[in-house]
Amino acid sequence: MSFLGGPECSTAGNPLSQFAKHTQDDKSLQRDRVVNGGPQGSAGGFRSAPNHAPQDEMMNGFLQQNGRLPDMPLEAMNPQLRLDHPAQAVHLRANSTSPTWANEFQRNPQAAMESAFKVPQGTHFGPEDYAKFQQMTQVGPSRSSPMPQGMAYPGPMMGTGMMSGMGNVGMGYGMRGMYGSPMYQQPQQQQPAAAQSMDKGKGKLVELDDNKWEEQFAQIALEDQQAREDEQNKAMEPELNKLDEQILQSETNEFGDFESIWRGIQSEKNAATEQLNEDEWVNRFNDENWQNGFGWGENNYRITGEPQVENYLFEEDNLFKDTPNPFDEGMRIMEQGGNLSLAALAFEAAAQKDPTHVEAWVQLGAAQAQNEKETAAIRALEQAKSLDPNNPGALMTLAVSYTNEGYDSTAYRTLERWLSVKYPSIISPADLSPAADLGFTDRQQLHDKVSNLFIKAANLSPGGEQMDPDVQVGLGVLFYGAEEYEKAVDCFGAALQSTEQGASNQRSQVHLLWNRMGATLANSGKSEEAIAAYERALTLRPNFVRARYNLGVSCINMGCQQEAASHLLAALDMHKSVEKEGRDKAREILGDLSDSQLDAMTTQNCSTNLYDTLRRVFMQMGRRDLADKVVAGVDPAVFRGDIDF
């Protein structure tokens, strides 16, 4: 039998004939082990089985096709291999089989000796071995360390037989594989070249005049700074260009909302980079995201740090377009707890009539948020904010929406700004945290900073009638974002207390507080209490779509899928009923139109969240048929046969 591989005419009668073929292929483990440059950088158990390297040597040696084993008599490997019990393998190896093996070993002990590590004879895997290994296995260049390849292969280095079992093999021969940690480290390739441009341009000798040295020094420092900035600007260019490319590419995907590009933000960004001061530069360079290129570093926020917000999409053919004062209509509907989609339409009309009407945008955003149309809400509120960056209503509602959507750092910054408007003594608008892509730890720090500010504000009026419920709400939102739900519950509770006793315009917000309380309870696993809170909200405002959605979610968590579906469908029905009413009106005005034509008119902003959740409920109920029917704009009535609502 030939262990040297090569083409086999017949594999029958040759139990180990295919051995060479397999084992020559997959050396990945050894490669990884030897080079230790793989992603799993640490010396781990994965590579620490020390006994095996010598065997691999042997195995490789024997399997080498180019016949570099002249001293290895073939007769030694005959088909009648003794089937040794694994535990005895070593013993047998030592004494029996081919004596030439042992000779080989004796003849070449020096390789065993030459080792940086003091290991017993024959146990190491030194540089020469690696060189040989490389030669034999022709490891690809990308994996190889630059090791000298001087030695010709003299034969197997370690004496134990390759036939031996895995576990104990080295022991008998005195081979105690010692090296737990691999000896070859590939240079870490992550340290960016960019870091070097941080060099502060030392080594510039200048003569300083005795009198004017301060001036000169300042001048030099300025020049240095300028040079540095220019350098850093240049270094930034490719990164920015790449960023632009990435943004352009994602432009074509099918997802709207935050995934699409707001060109205004882009040009703003370009302008802003030119004005960045040194601190910003330092921050950016220290931020791993910038240093390591796209895709590396913790939580790449390059694309998703700040939400990309599109312009608000108005419904076509608004019922209220000819109403003289749609804003007042909208306010009336809200105060009376009417249908939120209707209220939204009224505010849309108001905003379309006068796009500078900040309050119209604010109310539109608030209505859509309660209507469980978060994206629309955010767009409207951002519009309000662009008209009036310090509008407290817009800021608070935006902070809540961003928290819901997972844009934590944006939410925190928005709350900070809100505080600077209402409590400039605690934080001045000039001291606001800069907008920047934040890694995970930086977000924590920002969160803690803003929370402390809010606590300071809360302490200004510790209790009773003076307590500012909005501060409590802000604090509650902050705790909610950090998953400190107990504290959040306390805050919302305090806000509830003071609001219920407060002025009437505050009382109109109570249902919001009950919903927030419920959401917080739900997140801390208190489903039943959450449901009670939602029901309080719904009692005050039966048309509160968001609360009804939340109720559905709590039902899912309690395993009541059927009931959950019922709540979700009821919520969708509230959207649809206005659409239907609008449809009738539209028919009056525009004449006979097909349902699909009307559908196109009334589904600009639909609640993907409601649809997605409903679909998931149906899947969990095992009703794939129902799940497939859930598409954006579907009429809930379609499901009446299966679900009561």
Partner 1 sequence: MPNIVVVGAGVSGLTTAYLLSKDKANTITIVAKHMPGDYDIQYASPWAGANVLPMATASNSRWERRTWPQLKRLALEVPEAGIHLQKARVLRRTKDLEKLKTGVYSFDGLFMENPWYKSLFDDFRELSPSELPAEMASGCEFGSLCINTMLYLPWLVGQCRANGVVFKRGVLMHISEAASLSHAGVKADIIINTTGLMASKLGGVMDENVVPVRGQVVVVRNEAPYMLTKSGTDDADDEVCYVMTRANGGGTILGGTYQKGNWESQPDPNQALRIMRRVVEMMPEITNGKGVDGFDIVRHGVGLRPYRNGGVRIEKEKIDGTWVVHNYGHAGWGYQGSFGCAEGVAELVSEILNKPKL
Site for partner 1 in 243-302 (CB under 8 A): 246, 249-250, 253, 255, 258-259, 295-296, 298-302
Stretch that binds partner 1, among 177-185, 341-349, 553-561, 581-589 (CB under 8 A): 553-561
Rounded to an integer, what distance in angstroms lies between the CA atom of residue 348 and that of residue 371? 14
Identify which of 184, 147, 165 has the alpha carbon closest to the alpha carbon of residue 55.
165
352, 611, 621, 634: which one binds partner 1 (CB under 8 A): 611
Which one, 19 or 423, has the nearer CB to partner 1? 19
Please say whether the beta carbons of 417 and 429 come within 8 A: yes
Which one, 73 or 622, has the nearer CB to partner 1? 622
Rounded to an integer, what distance in angstroms lies between the CA atom of residue 454 and that of residue 434? 18
Query: How many CB atoms neighbour CB 634 within 10 A?
Result: 16
CB of 433 to partner 1, least distance (A): 18
CB of 253 to partner 1, least distance (A): 6
Identify which of 328, 470, 492, 493 has the alpha carbon closest to the alpha carbon of residue 395.
470
User: Which amino acid, 191?
Assistant: Q
Phi and psi torsions of 416, nearest 5°: -60, -45
6, 73, 86, 201: which one binds partner 1 (CB under 8 A): 86
In the chain the first and final C-alpha atoms are separated, in Å, by 78
403 sits near partner 1 (criterion: CB under 8 A): yes
CB of 435 to partner 1, least distance (A): 17
Which one, 109 or 256, has the nearer CB to partner 1? 256
Phi and psi torsions of 372, nearest 5°: 60, 40
Which one, 546 or 575, has the nearer CB to partner 1? 546
9 sits near partner 1 (criterion: CB under 8 A): no
Identify which of 581, 100, 52 has the alpha carbon closest to the alpha carbon of residue 345.
581
613, 626, 636, 643: which one binds partner 1 (CB under 8 A): 613
Rounded to an integer, what distance in angstroms lies between the CA atom of residue 297 and that of residue 288? 5
Compose the 618-637 pattern: x for residues touching partner 1 by CB under 8 A, - for all others.
-xx---x--x----------
Rounded to an integer, what distance in angstroms lies between the CA atom of residue 310 and that of residue 605? 13
567 sits near partner 1 (criterion: CB under 8 A): no
Which one, 70 or 295, has the nearer CB to partner 1? 295
Compose the 303-342 pattern: x for residues touching partner 1 by CB under 8 A, - for all others.
xx--------------------------------------
Stretch that binds partner 1, among 7-15, 99-107, 199-207, 536-544 (CB under 8 A): 7-15
509 sits near partner 1 (criterion: CB under 8 A): no
Rounded to an integer, what distance in angstroms lies between the CA atom of residue 80 and that of residue 72? 17
34, 54, 56, 601: which one binds partner 1 (CB under 8 A): 56
Identify which of 573, 581, 539, 533 has the alpha carbon closest to the alpha carbon of residue 553.
533
Rounded to an integer, what distance in angstroms lies between the CA atom of residue 303 and that of residue 246? 8
Residues 414-443 within binding reach of partner 1 (CB under 8 A): 440, 443
Please say whether the beta carbons of 427 and 390 come within 8 A: no
Taking each continuous run of H as one helix and of E as one strand, the counts in the chain are 29, 0
Rounded to an integer, what distance in angstroms lies between the CA atom of residue 530 and that of residue 383? 33
Phi and psi torsions of 282, nearest 5°: -60, -45
Rounded to an integer, what distance in angstroms lies between the CA atom of residue 627 and that of residue 217? 72
Residues 461-500 within binding reach of partner 1 (CB under 8 A): 477, 480
How many residues of this chain interact with partner 1, rule: CB under 8 A? 96
Stretch that binds partner 1, among 125-133, 144-152, 552-560, 584-592 (CB under 8 A): 552-560
Alpha helices in 260-373 (DSSP H): 263-274, 278-286, 288-291, 326-335, 340-353, 358-370
Stretch that binds partner 1, among 322-330, 358-366, 547-555, 578-586 (CB under 8 A): 547-555
Which residues, including other chains, have CB under 8 Å from residue 87's CB and lie 6 or more apart?
A: 165, 167, 168
Rounded to an integer, what distance in angstroms lies between the CA atom of residue 541 and that of residue 534? 10
4, 21, 100, 283: which one binds partner 1 (CB under 8 A): 21
34, 69, 72, 89: which one binds partner 1 (CB under 8 A): 89
104, two tokens: 């080989």
Rounded to an integer, what distance in angstroms lies between the CA atom of residue 119 and that of residue 177? 8
Residues 440-459 within binding reach of partner 1 (CB under 8 A): 440, 443
348 sits near partner 1 (criterion: CB under 8 A): no
Which one, 28 or 461, has the nearer CB to partner 1? 28
Residues 148-177 within binding reach of partner 1 (CB under 8 A): 162-167
Which one, 191 or 597, has the nearer CB to partner 1? 191
9, 12, 116, 152: which one binds partner 1 (CB under 8 A): 12
Stretch that binds partner 1, among 94-102, 428-436, 454-462, 515-523 (CB under 8 A): 515-523
46, 117, 213, 217: which one binds partner 1 (CB under 8 A): 46
Taking each helix axis from N to C terminus, what angle separates 469-481 and 440-460, rounded to the nearest 10 degrees? 160
83, 193, 271, 503: which one binds partner 1 (CB under 8 A): 83
Rounded to an integer, what distance in angstroms lies between the CA atom of residue 452 and that of residue 427? 11
Which one, 267 or 441, has the nearer CB to partner 1? 441
Rounded to an integer, what distance in angstroms lies between the CA atom of residue 130 and that of residue 157? 12
CB of 527 to partner 1, least distance (A): 10
541, 546, 575, 576: which one binds partner 1 (CB under 8 A): 546
CB of 612 to partner 1, least distance (A): 5
